[in-house]
Structure 1
Amino acid sequence: MIMEDAGGRAGALGAAAKTGARVLMYSHDTFGLGHLRRSRTIANVLASEAPGVSVIIVSGSPVIGSFEFRPGVDYVRVPGVVKMANGDYRTLNLNMGVDETAALRAQLIRQTTESFRPDLVIVDKEPTGFRGEIAGALELARRQGARIVLGVRDVMDDPALLVPEWERKGALHALETLYDDIWVYGLKEIYEPLAAFNLSQRLRQRTLYTGYLRRSLPNEPTLTRYPKITRGPFILVTSGGGADGDDMVDWVISAYEADPGLQIPALVVFGPFIARDRRRDFMERINRHPRLAALSFDSKLETLMNRATAVVAMGGYNTFCEVLSFDRPALIVPRTRPRREQYIRAMAAERLGLASAIVGEDGGRDPLRMAAALHRLLEQPRPSATTMCADSLLGGADAIRQDFAQWLGARNGQAPDQNRESLLRAASGGG
């Protein structure tokens, strides 16, 4: 009887494994939290789609263990590298040069691909990875029969900067020769991140604009102890990972110091990568102000976003998705160097009425100018007040889920669904 139960259970597991797939996700994570958080969101979507789906995220992020994943999702952490504000790189922890670290990362990624044998590979943003480290693994995965997808955010960079960068890296050649599909995690009506490239007709037809990735509240309550100001109305100030958020944080603190009329409290969340000296300096100023408080980091920032009256942020992709998902009035303070991605997104969001924006360049961070923007923010309509349809705007997870399910069905011998081809044609603008 026990043997029969075991056999039945094994048979059920075998059937489940047949309906599932192995997915390898690559997130190069050289700067901040954006790539990791986007990959985590997509991995959780895929793991919930069918029994037997296993997802491994390959990441160099030192904080990947701080985040929750659904059953079926795990990660392999490779040695970290950090992109500095001037565009150069350094190794995060090892006493090794960047080139040697990149070679080690490439070897570990290839070994993971060889052992895991993924059916689907999803590469975040960089077709060749950090210093070409993913190319060998992609060639191996292709020989093993895997489907290979490049996933890119709604905005990559100013075309004048992006095109020469991709030419230098051989990214376009890799995209044309190694990739089957492109997923754009945004809407074509807002921005076309790869419009500057002369993509082949094949890739143009295989480009799916998914919409933005809707975020939800964490399943488990946060263990972070929030300051008292969060019990009433407050402005959430977040710089994402925090490595390049000093100017924004300083500007907001200066506004509160300069304008006693700012009565609504503000909570600053620094992010895990802010320089220790800068955080100490900011904390001294915050502790002296009765309407300011701070947290170092919260891996479940969605909870704070949902509680906040309004949001001030740099406008990275993930924060923008959260602003839309929790329908919060937002003031975006984008960085403009070394990439103009946040600036392009901020201008598009302001044009569409989804957020407001303020840019401080060349020392133009007048505290009273920021204070005036914060006063206006409290009267600003929510993103849902625009005419854009929330279902299409935040349909990213559903579009990915549908594409994955139809590919999975075709892989397991089910009749192909013509809706996918129609969806691709509509999303790519093809006939």
Structure 2
Amino acid sequence: MDESSEAIHNTGIAGLTGRGAAMPAAVFDNEHIGGLVEHPLPPQPVGERARVLIYSHDTFGLGHLRRSRAIANALAAGSTGVSVVIISGSPVIGNFEFGSGVDHVRVPGVVKLRNGDYRSLNLNIGIEETTHLRAAIIAQTAQSFRPDLVIIDKEPTGFRGEILPALNILKRNGARLVLGIRDVMDEPAALKPEWERKGGLEALSTFYDEIWVYGLEQVYEPLSCLPLSDEVKQRILYTGYLRRGLPREASITSYPRITRGPFVLVTTGGGGDGEDLIDWTISAYESPACPDIPALIVFGPFINRDQRRGFMTRIAKHPKLAAISFDSKLELLMNRASAVVAMGGYNTFCEVLSLDKPTLIVPRTTPRLEQYIRAAEAERLGLIRMLVQGSGSAETMAHAIRDLMQQKRPSEVVVPGLLDGLDVIGRRFNAWLAERPEPAVTHQAAE
């Protein structure tokens, strides 16, 4: 790792905010951060109410992007004159539709290797240089767009510390900074050292005005294992889960024939780590205990192509199985399904609750226990049923799929505030707008 790259990755919060150690030139020198020359911007247009910037690092899967998109669309639709920009590294962000007032900036993608390291997704440059390029784009976007509200998804310092330069710019410009985290981050034994290593605790106290937890305190407290000060604890707001609606039009013109009647939808989200669930499901239908109800498997855009080819060969031989590669408007397909089998990421969990589907969750347990913890808590409440990978045979899965037809729907379990997330966020956003001095912030370059 070269000296400038090491500065972004390893420099403490004190050094990056000018407290204590000197600010590293590799992070703040104009030459390295894209030459952040401040040019006067045009006056704020009549009718503009606020600008929102959402950062979603998206090194893997679709979860961060879909969560950010749901929040962005809700904020833009809930208040006239709101513009939202999502910064994302997802290679498939262009496949999704955004509401009026929402747009995105794509930074170069990265991918996590099996050994835990990262590499550039498409560029033939090292991960250190890729991180520098992403940091420069993020910082320049923060400087040029001049948002009033900033929501950072999950990572308080970003991927390898890439948003620290931008956070300093945003704080200096008076933006309100919010860290938004899902209901479950990871098991305490893994989360605490990870946040300490990345400077997450320092970032919370230094930068963030609020912490939004997209879940309920009575379900799980994701930050309870961290030594937070009382002041930081006061900034935490539990919103409830993010309710999902239905898109107006399907992205796929023709669904497989089995969707014309009752069927089970099998989804692995992005698909990058869903091979085991797909294999177990196919094996269930190949077994003597084959379920009566057909199943439609959605591979996801990140599944290994060779694996997908092998699965398609097996699926083509079975009359009760069908598959599609990817559907950016999966909610419509899920709404048609009789039940759902899924891995249990945050967004899928929100969707099955919103669409009220009997659901079997088969959570991954590596490299994080996030999905397992969420599924265990949801099963405790009676919202879903859980089956752990490797805990049974093909017949075990077949019986679990068959039992879905008699399983309770989530709506039959009363959990107050369960799906109030977007409403709570909208009310908090509007209250904050009302508290601001009038007129609204004029987006001019700082002196």
CA–CA separation in structure 2 for the residues paired with 1:258 and 1:99: 48
| Residue 402 (structure 1) aligned with residue 411 (structure 2) | no
Per the alignment, in what secondary structure is the counterpart of residue 265 of structure 2?
A: strand
- Tell me which amino acid in the other structure corresponds to 2:109: G
Q: 1:225 to 1:85 in 2, by over 3 A?
A: farther
* 3-state SS in 2 of match to 1:372: helix
Deviates more, 1:256-265 or 1:49-58: 256-265
Distance 1:96 1:163, change over 3 A: same
Question: Given the alignment, which residue of 172, 178, 182 partners 1:149?
Answer: 178
Shift of 1:289: 0.5
Q: Report the equivalent of 2:60.
A: 31
Report matched runs for 1:242-261 at 5 Å. 242-261=271-290
Q: For 1:275 and 1:100, how far apart are their aligned partners in 2?
A: 27
Where 1:128 maps in the other structure, the secondary structure is: coil
Residue 254 of structure 1 deviates from its aligned partner by 0.4
Cα distance in 2 for residues equivalent to 1:68 and 1:264: 32
Is this contact kept in 1: 2:90–2:109, CA < 8 A?
yes
The one-character-per-residue Cα deviations of 1:191-229 (angstroms, maximum 9, x if unpaired) are 000001121222211111000000000023333421000
Letter in 2 for 1:376: D
- Which blocks of at least 5 consecutive residues in structure 1 are unaligned? 1-12, 415-431
The superposition leaves residues 354-397 of structure 1 with CA deviations (integer Å, 9 ceiling, x where unpaired) of: 00000024xx45111111111212211101111323xx100000
Q: Following the alignment from structure 1 to structure 2, what is the Cα–Cα distance between the partners of residues 412 and 226?
A: 51
Q: CA deviation at 1:265?
A: 0.3
Establish whether residue 360 from structure 1 lines up as the match of residue 385 from structure 2: no
* 1:123-272 → structure 2 map (5 Å cutoff): 123-272=152-301
Aligned pair count reads: 396
1:383 aligns to 2:410 (yes or no) = yes
User: Post-superposition shift, 1:15?
Assistant: 4.0
Contact 1:87 1:338 in 2 (8 A): no
Partner of 1:371: 398
Matched with 2:319 is: 290
Letter in structure 2 aligned against 1:368: E
1:59-74 matches, within 5 Å, as 59-74=88-103
SS at match of 1:173: helix
Any conservation in 2 of the 1:85–1:338 contact (CA below 8 Å)? Answer: no
Deviations 1:41-93 (A, max 9, x none): 00001111222211100000011011111111000000001123443222111
The answer to whether the 8 A contact 1:306-1:326 is kept is yes
Q: Which has the higher helix share?
A: 1
Confirm whether residue 275 of structure 1 aligns to residue 300 of structure 2.
no
The answer as to whether partners of 2:252 and 2:327 remain within 8 angstroms in 1 is no
Counterparts of 1:104 and 1:224, CA distance in 2 = 38
Which residue of the partner structure matches residue 122 of structure 1? 151
CA contact (8 A) 1:236 1:308 kept: yes
Which deviates the most, 98-107 or 265-274? Answer: 98-107
Secondary structure at the counterpart of residue 283 of structure 1:
helix
The answer for the alignment partner of 1:49 in structure 2 is: 78
Distance in 2, matches of 1:231 and 1:313, equals 21
Gaps of 5+ in 2: 1-43, 440-447
What percent of counterpart residues are identical? Answer: 65
Kindly state the Cα deviation for residue 175 of structure 1 after the two structures are TM-superposed: 1.2
User: 1:224-261 CA deviation, whole Å, 9 max, x = no partner?
Assistant: 42100000000000000000000000000001001354
Report the Cα offset of residue 14 of structure 1: 4.1
